Amino acid sequence: MNGNGVGIVGYGVYIPRFRINAEEITKIWGEEADRIKDGLGIHEKSVPDIDEDAATIAVEAARNAVKHSGINAAEIGAIYVGSESHPYAVKPTATVVAEAIQATPKLTAADMEFACKAGTAGLQCVLGMCAAGMIKYGMAIGSDTSQGRPGDALEYSAGAGGAAYIVGKEKSEMIAEIKHTCSFTTDTPDFWRRPGADFPSHGGRFTGEPAYFKHVISASKMLMEETGIGPNELDYVVFHQPNGKFPLQAAKMLGIPKEKVVRGLVTPMIGNTYSAASMIGLAAVLDVAKPGDRIMLTSFGSGAGSDSFLIIATDKLEEKRNRVKTVESFVNDKEYIEYGKYVKYRRKLKSL
Amino acid sequence: MTGTGLALTWRRIPERYNLIGSRCENCGEAFFPVRTICPNCRRRGRIKREAFSGNGKIYSYTFVTSPPTGFELEAPYIMAVIELEEGAKVTAQLVDTDYEKVKIGAPVKMVFRKIQEEGKEGLIHYGFKFKVVD
Amino acid sequence: MVMRRVAIVGVGMTEFGEHWEMGFRELVAQAGLRAIEDAKLAGVKIDALYGGTMAAGRLIGQEHITALIADYMGLNPIPATRVEAACASGGVALRQGYMAVASGMHDIVVVGGAEKMTDVPVSDAAVALGGAGDQEWELFMGATFPALYALMARRHMYEYGTKEEELAQVAVKNHYNASKNKYAQFKSPVSLETVMGSKVIADPLKLFDCSPISDGAAAVVLAPMEMARQFTDTPVEIIASAQASDTLALSSRKSLTELRATKVAAKKAFELAHITPGDVDVCEVHDCFTIAEIMAIEDIGFFPKGKGGKATMDGETALNSTISINTSGGLKGCGHPVGATGVKQAVEITWQLRGEAGDRQVKNAEIGMTHNVGGSGATCVVHIMRRAD
pLDDT digits (tens, 9 = 90+) for C213-248: 999 999 999 999 999 999 999 999 999 999 999 999
Q: What is the pLDDT of residue A349?
A: 74
CB contact under 8 A, C130 and B63: no
CB contact under 8 A, C141 and B62: no
CATH 3.40.50.620 fits C6-121+214-236, yes or no: no
Domain boundaries, chain C: 6-121+214-236, 134-212+238-387
The C-alpha of A90 sits at a distance from chain B's nearest C-alpha, in angstroms, of 11
| Closest among C341, C270, C257 to C299, alpha carbons compared | C257
Q: What is the pLDDT of residue B119?
A: 86
CB contact under 8 A, A51 and B115: yes
Class of C134-212+238-387 in CATH = alpha beta
Q: What is the pLDDT of residue A121?
A: 97
Question: C134-212+238-387: same fold as C6-121+214-236?
Answer: yes
Residue C365, pLDDT above cutoff 90: yes
Neighbours of chain B (3+ CB pairs under 8 A): A, C
In this prediction, residues C307-320 reach a mean pLDDT of 98
CB contacts, 8 Å: B111 with chain A: 60
Q: What is the pLDDT of residue C322?
A: 96
Q: Chain B neighbours among A 278-297 (CB < 8 Å)?
A: none
Q: Chain B neighbours among C 274-293 (CB < 8 Å)?
A: none
Q: Does A347 touch chain B (CB under 8 A)?
A: yes
Q: Does B1 touch chain C (CB under 8 A)?
A: yes
Which residue in B has a C-alpha nearest to residue A59's C-alpha? B112
Work out the pLDDT band at A352, boundaries 50, 70, 90. Answer: low
Residue B3, pLDDT above cutoff 80: no
Name the residue facing B62 among C124, C199, C202 (closest C-beta). Answer: C202
Separation CA C79–CA C71 (nearest Å):
11
Q: Does B67 touch chain C (CB under 8 A)?
A: yes
Q: Does C124 touch chain B (CB under 8 A)?
A: yes
Name the residue facing A56 among B14, B51, B112 (closest C-beta). Answer: B112
pLDDT tens readout for residues A147-185 = 888 888 888 999 999 999 999 999 999 999 999 999 999
Q: Which of B112, B121, B129 to mutate to test the interface with A (most CBs of A within 10 A)?
A: B112
Q: What is the pLDDT of residue C380?
A: 98
Work out the pLDDT band at C2, boundaries 50, 70, 90. Answer: confident
* Residues of A with catalytic roles: 84, 116, 240
Q: Does A17 touch chain B (CB under 8 A)?
A: yes
In this prediction, residues A275-298 reach a mean pLDDT of 98
Q: Does B123 touch chain C (CB under 8 A)?
A: no
In this prediction, residues A6-16 reach a mean pLDDT of 98
Neighbours of chain C (3+ CB pairs under 8 A): B
CB contacts, 8 Å: A55 with chain B: 124, 126
Q: What is the pLDDT of residue A232?
A: 96
Separation CA C64–CA C67 (nearest Å):
6
pLDDT tens readout for residues B66-123 = 888 888 888 899 999 999 999 999 999 999 988 788 999 999 999 999 999 988 899 9
Q: Does B74 touch chain A (CB under 8 A)?
A: yes
Q: Chain C neighbours among B 40-59 (CB < 8 Å)?
A: 59
Q: What is the pLDDT of residue A79?
A: 98
pLDDT tens readout for residues C55-77 = 998 899 999 999 999 999 989 99
CB contact under 8 A, C202 and B74: no
Instruction: Evaluate if pTM is beyond 0.95.
Output: no
* Residues of C with catalytic roles: 87, 336
In this prediction, residues C250-262 reach a mean pLDDT of 97
CB contacts, 8 Å: A74 with chain B: none
